[in-house]
Each structure stands twice: as C-alpha cells, then as structure tokens.
Amino acid sequence: MSEPKALKRPIQASAGKAAKEEGWWETVKIVVEALIIALVVRTLLFQPFNIPSGSLTPTLLIGDYLFVSKYAYGYSHFSLPGFLDLAPAAMPGRIFASPPKRGDVIVFKLPRDGETDYIKRLIGLPGDRIQMIDNRLYINGQIVDRQPLPPYQTTGRFGEPVEVPHYLETLPGGVKHEIIQLEGDNNPMPYTANTDVYTVPPNEYFFMGDNRDNSSDSRVPPDRGGVGYVPFENLIGRAEVIFFSVDGAPAWEVWQWPWTVRWNRMFHAVR
C-alpha cells in the first residue's frame, strides 16, 4: 500500500516546479513588456528632463523636472535614445516634421557636439534678423515690446540673493513670457548686450534664455562656447509641463521633500 503514495510525490513536486517556472516566466514577460512600453513612450511621446542651470529663470528654475513632447516637431535620429542612435546617416532630416513656433521652449542637441542637451526659448525663425542693441531685443528691425514687472528675487553671479529687473516680453506673433536681467540695461557683456545682426539661415533657428544676462545661447558663437544657430534636425521636443520641482536638495532625498519640494510648481504648464 505504500507504493502508490510514493508515486504521488514526484507528480506533486513536478507540478509545483512547473507552476513556479510558469510564474517566473510571467514575471519576466511583464517586466519586458513594461520596458518596451517605457522605451516606446520615451522615444515617441514624452521624455523627462531636469533643469540644471538658471538660464531660463524665471520660466524654469534649477531643480524643475519636466516632460518634453517628442512628437511636437516630428522625429530625427536625435529623438532616439543614445544606445539606439547607432547610424545617424541612415536617418537624415526629420520624419513627420512640423515646424516649431516662435516662443516655444525647446530641448535640442547642442550643434557643436551633437550630444549635450540644451533647453532655451525659440526667438528667431529661418530668415529672421535678430539683434541686441543696448540689451534690448530687435527682431526684423523692430524692438520687441516689454512691460515692467515687480523686481524678481533670485541669486546673483556669486550666489548672493538679489532683486533684479523683471519684464513681460511680447514676441511677434503674440507669445508673452517673463524675462529678467541681472544687470538691467547696463550689462556691458559682449555677445549679449550689443550684437551684430544675426540672419537666421534656412532650416535653422535662433534661441535665447529668459535670464538674459546669464545664458550661453545663440547670441554666443560656438567657438566662444555658445550655441549659435540650431538645425531643425537637432530639436528633440517642446517643454510641456513641470511634473516635479525641488529646491536646494537632490530629488532622491525624499525625507527633505516637505521643505524642499516647490509644491506650487507641480503640474505647472511651461509657457
């Protein structure tokens, strides 16, 4: 009578082992599917970025985390994650291309190295003539309108708290956005205060920061460490919404969030 009992044990062990293997493969499949979905979303729809500098203050602050829409202007090889961008020559230009609008806040690849991510505001379209005269912006020979706002509290060049001139600027086409000037209209810095006329080439764009005295942008030539003109294919996407913001501490220090998270900036649209 003991023999039938002995026969049942291997059957039960085999069934239990099969169930464990099936459960393990289900977990693997779920993880792989999640990774594929995340890769598709990051490549085709939205990509997260964080702001490491103050060049777009007051629109974007150091420590802001935002989503960028990858589909806004179509796709180039720069839209691919680095480990997939193995043959740039096989994907020249853009597919499903849609031109950006003046005033958009855009993430792009720095033209002089093709690797570094920059984020600036689009000021000049192809064919536009851009110039700075006594720290005022001119587009196609016309001074860009600005209205004074209350002084803006920020950090000076040496980390000290300062109040600086603050304006609401209206670009041709009607886009309104805030700018600040650390030195006001008295900034003597070359390449930013008074410039030659920049005529934007075909299929390229001219970008500037909203923190006008603290932004290395298209006003500064690439050989001086600046941006210069940005080709259309270098655009990655349009900044859409701030989903997280932290001040003065790394985002991973969750125990400091009650004091460091800027709750008022959460889900704030980028304008």
Where in the sequence numbering do the catalytic residues fall?
55, 120
Say how far apart CA 209 and CA 123 lie, in whole Å. Answer: 9
Taking the mean position of all CA atoms in its chain, how far away is CA 126? 22
Say how far apart CA 207 and CA 29 lie, in whole Å. Answer: 44
- Name 231's bridge partners: 204
Q: Which two tokens stand for residue 177?
A: 């956005």
Residue 211 and residue 187 in contact, taking contact as beta carbons nearer than 8 Å: no
The CA distances from residue 195 to 151, 184, 189, 202, 231, in Å, are: 26, 17, 10, 21, 21
End-to-end alpha carbon distance in the chain: 82
